[in-house]
Amino acid sequence: MDTKLFPVILPYRQGWLAVGAGHEIYWSLSGNPEGIPVVWLHGGPGSASSMFHRRFFDPERFLIVQFDQRGCGKSRPAGSLISNQTLDLVADMEALRNMLGLKRWSVVGGSWGGALALAYAQRHSAALTHLVLRSPFLCSPQEIMQFMNHPPAACEPSWQQLMQQMPSAGSEDLLTYGHRVFCLEHDQARQASLALAWAHYESAMNAYPLPAPDVEMQQGEVMIPRYQIQCHYLANGCFVTREQLLAPEALSQLSLTLIHGEQDALCPLSNSHAICESAPLAHLIRVPGCGHELAIPPMQHALLGVIASWI
């Protein structure tokens, strides 16, 4: 199985794009300036662009576009919730495409990035050459509830540690508590402690059915903006409905490929089946024995193969 990623490369151009309401989104270009344009949509909500993600593209053949969504990563101001909803992010993508002078581009999005890719496709399908969704999230109340309250048994210890962050006498559920602490209050010590526990739980869910990697997390303070954004989106149903993402009119003629681990604990395989029902030309690649994690050979092999097929 060929899972060799392309070498680590640095951006040849980067900057910030003002998109309104005080937001400036960080963007970067890597690879070949004359190459096939492709944009990678990071997950989360609340994550950021990554050097790892650009390694799925041959830098001699692709113009690799990345950006940090509002409030995320290097975008400014960090953790800002003002005018930060799904359609704002869709508009940012169009603003970035136009700023770069790209007539069309391919879009690759995983998890929450897959939901954002679908939201973009619903409004701008004519700008898409290829659409790849890896383990897409569909923002349904059931998915959010499953993530917040019903982990698989192997992830329950880290979930219990997260639950211990909550006041024992409180009546709030985890998401309501997280939204209050991260989005409505300003107790940095409590936010940092909660962010660290949340990150450990998220890591376990991402790795399932494999054990969570035994890595030392960043300081909790550094992760506060990530979970401010995540709680803001999840507590508001990600500002989009499953039905809106699956509206078939925009999806029916797209060149769409789905890659999904059969044991994904974060985004169920049924999400990709539902997308296929709205997009009859879609091709689904099921990855046996895998969950949500991208950084394992079978998932990498599947994604590398799809991208190689464009050339």
The string of pLDDT tens digits covering residues 138-150 is: 999 999 999 999 9
Mean pLDDT, to the nearest integer, of 224-235?
Answer: 98
pLDDT digits (tens, 9 = 90+) for 63-94: 999 999 999 999 999 999 999 999 999 999 99
Mean pLDDT, to the nearest integer, of 169-186?
Answer: 92
pTM: predicted TM-score of the whole model, two decimal places: 0.96
**Placement of tokens 């003629």 in the chain:** 253
Query: DSSP alpha helices (H): ranges in 164-259?
Result: 174-179, 188-207, 220-235, 242-245, 248-251
Question: Per the residue annotation, which of 23, 53, 232, 292 is the catalytic one?
Answer: 292
**Tokens of residue 181, six digits:** 């602490």
Mean pLDDT, to the nearest integer, of 25-47?
Answer: 98
- Percent of the chain topping pLDDT 90: 92
Mean pLDDT, to the nearest integer, of 265-294?
Answer: 96
Active site residue 150: no
List Cβ neighbours of 305 (8 Å cut-off, separation of 6 or more): none
Q: Which of 25, 44, 85 is nearest to 240 (CA)?
A: 85
Instruction: Say which DSSP state 76 is in.
Output: B
pLDDT exceeds cutoff 60 at 251: yes
pLDDT-based confidence at 159, cuts 50/70/90? very high
Task: Lowest mean pLDDT of 9-13, 36-40, 129-133, 217-221, name the range.
Answer: 217-221
Q: Which of 164, 239, 232 is nearest to 198 (CA)?
A: 164
pLDDT exceeds cutoff 70 at 215: no
- CATH, domain range 13-139+240-308: 3.40.50.1820
pLDDT higher for 170 or 296? 296
pLDDT exceeds cutoff 50 at 1: no
pLDDT of residue 217: 67
Active site residue 111: yes
Cα gap 116→272, rounded to integer Å = 15
Domains in the chain: boundaries: 13-139+240-308, 144-237
Cα gap 86→105, rounded to integer Å = 20
Asked whether the bond before 77 is cis by omega within 30 degrees of 0, the reply is yes
Residue 174, Cα to own-chain centre: how many angstroms?
A: 21
Question: Per the residue annotation, which of 42, 203, 264, 278 is the catalytic one?
Answer: 264
| Phi, psi at 131, each rounded to 5° | -130, 125
pLDDT higher for 169 or 105? 105
Question: Per the residue annotation, which of 111, 135, 203, 272 is the catalytic one?
Answer: 111
Instruction: Determine how β-strand 256-261 pairs with β-strand 283-287.
Output: parallel
pLDDT exceeds cutoff 60 at 2: no
Q: Taking all residues of the chain, what is their mean pLDDT, rounded to a whole number?
A: 95
Active site residue 30: no
**Placement of tokens 């993508």 in the chain:** 93
Task: Lowest mean pLDDT of 178-182, 196-200, 215-219, 297-301, name the range.
Answer: 215-219
Mean pLDDT, to the nearest integer, of 279-286?
Answer: 96
Q: From the CB of residue 273, how many other CB atoms can be counted at a distance below 10 Å? A: 14
